[in-house]
């Protein structure tokens, strides 16, 4: 059953000290990543949502908290992956993280589904089959010990229109994608219906969605990083590994 996205567009201003709260969250995320690296855990973070929803701002704050050597960020173009005639999930298999690493997908396989539906390439049984393939794909990652985090940044149509209008007033930012943004605004209702359906179809117990009320930029960033920190704290071991053969081996190497 499609979810009601309007439940996540209150956009109440963040009540608190934004900078101190952000700094504390970045410290939590840095500590959680350290545990991930040491214990060789894998993580996938999907950043999805509306254009103008504050995704990139949240991504910058997240990237500022983590060791970039253990992090890969993949930004899918709005128009698709350009991967030819391979299976539509093939480009993502080749970008999965190794042990101790995280892979962030800024736009993901879900964006491909949405755009394919808009183009008339997915409907009825093919739409449901694509959702089933995604669920199986994510289940395989979880079975392999990978944490899968899915964040959707939601804003109302009015907030989105205002933020995209502000972008168009900057000639540099306008040159980045004004045509694609205009298409999204014109067909907002269709996109909203598609997102509601796909989130409902893929909100699984092994890879649930976290919807972010991003109507307030500061509030959206804090909510997203808090959700991510909570999930990492739960998934990553709390204690460092005990000294063992690795330490002894390194000592022998030094003496040699």
Helix (H) or strand (E) holding 245: helix 245-255
Confidence of residue 196 (pLDDT cuts 50, 70, 90): very high
Question: Which residues, other chains included, contact 145 with Cβ-Cβ below 8 Å and sequence gap of 6+?
Answer: 41, 42
Tokens of residue 221, six digits: 């960033």
How does pLDDT run across 70-117, given as a tens digit for each residue? 999 999 875 544 455 788 999 899 999 999 999 999 999 999 999 999
Looking at residue 244, what is its pLDDT? 55
Query: What letter would DSSP give residue 242?
Result: P
Distance CA 136, CA 134 (A): 5
Six token digits for residue 66:
């983590």
Sequence-distant (≥ 6) Cβ neighbours of residue 232 within 8 angstroms: 29, 32, 33, 36, 43, 147
Using only the alpha carbons of the chain, give its radius of gyration. Answer: 20
Q: Please tell me the distance from the alpha carbon of residue 26 to that of residue 41, in angstroms, as a whole number.
A: 19
| Joined tokens for residue 104 | 């962030």
pLDDT in tens, 231-252: 999 999 988 887 654 443 444 4
**Per-residue confidence (pLDDT) for residue 256, from 0 to 100:** 43
What is residue 178's predicted lDDT score, i.e. its pLDDT? 60
pLDDT value, residue 79: 54
Give CA separation, 64 vs 38, 56, 234, in Å. 20, 12, 21
Q: pLDDT value at position 83?
A: 53
> Which of 80-84, 126-130, 140-144, 169-173 is predicted least confidently?
80-84
Please tell me the least confidently modeled range out of 1-5, 37-41, 101-105, 204-208: 1-5
Exposure b/e, 138-149, CB count within 10 A at least 16 = b: beebeeeebbbb
pLDDT in tens, 19-68: 999 999 999 999 999 999 999 999 999 999 999 999 999 999 999 999 99
Mean pLDDT calculated for residue range 159-178 = 84
Percent of the chain with pLDDT over 90: 73
Higher pLDDT residue, 186 or 136? Answer: 136
Whole-number average pLDDT of the chain: 89
| pLDDT (0 to 100) of residue 242 | 78
pLDDT of residue 129 exceeding 80: yes
């Amino acid at each position: 059953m499609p979810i009601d996205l309007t439940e996540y567009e209150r956009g109440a201003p963040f009540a608190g000290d934004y900078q101190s709260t952000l700094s504390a969250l970045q410290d939590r995320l840095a500590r959680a990543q350290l545990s991930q690296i040491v214990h060789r855990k894998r993580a996938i973070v999907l950043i999805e949502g509306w254009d103008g929803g504050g995704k990139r701002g949240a991504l910058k704050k997240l990237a500022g908290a983590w060791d970039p050597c253990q992090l890969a960020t993949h930004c899918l173009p709005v128009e698709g992956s350009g991967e030819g005639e391979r299976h539509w999930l093939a480009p993502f298999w080749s970008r999965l993280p190794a042990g101790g690493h995280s892979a962030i997908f800024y736009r993901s396989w879900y964006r491909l589904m949405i755009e394919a539906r808009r183009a008339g390439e997915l409907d009825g049984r093919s739409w449901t089959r694509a959702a089933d393939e995604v669920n199986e794909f994510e289940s395989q990652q979880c079975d392999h010990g990978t944490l899968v985090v899915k964040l959707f940044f939601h804003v109302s149509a009015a907030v989105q229109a205002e933020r995209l209008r502000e972008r168009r007033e900057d000639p540099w930012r306008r040159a980045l994608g004004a045509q694609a943004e205009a298409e999204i605004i014109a067909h907002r209702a269709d996109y909203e219906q598609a997102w509601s359906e796909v989130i409902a179809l893929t909100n699984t117990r092994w890879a649930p969605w976290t919807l972010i009320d991003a109507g307030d930029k500061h509030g959206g960033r804090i909510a997203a990083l808090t959700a991510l920190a909570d999930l990492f704290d739960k998934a990553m071991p709390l204690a460092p590994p005990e000294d063992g053969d690795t330490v002894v081996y390194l000592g022998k190497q030094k003496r040699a």
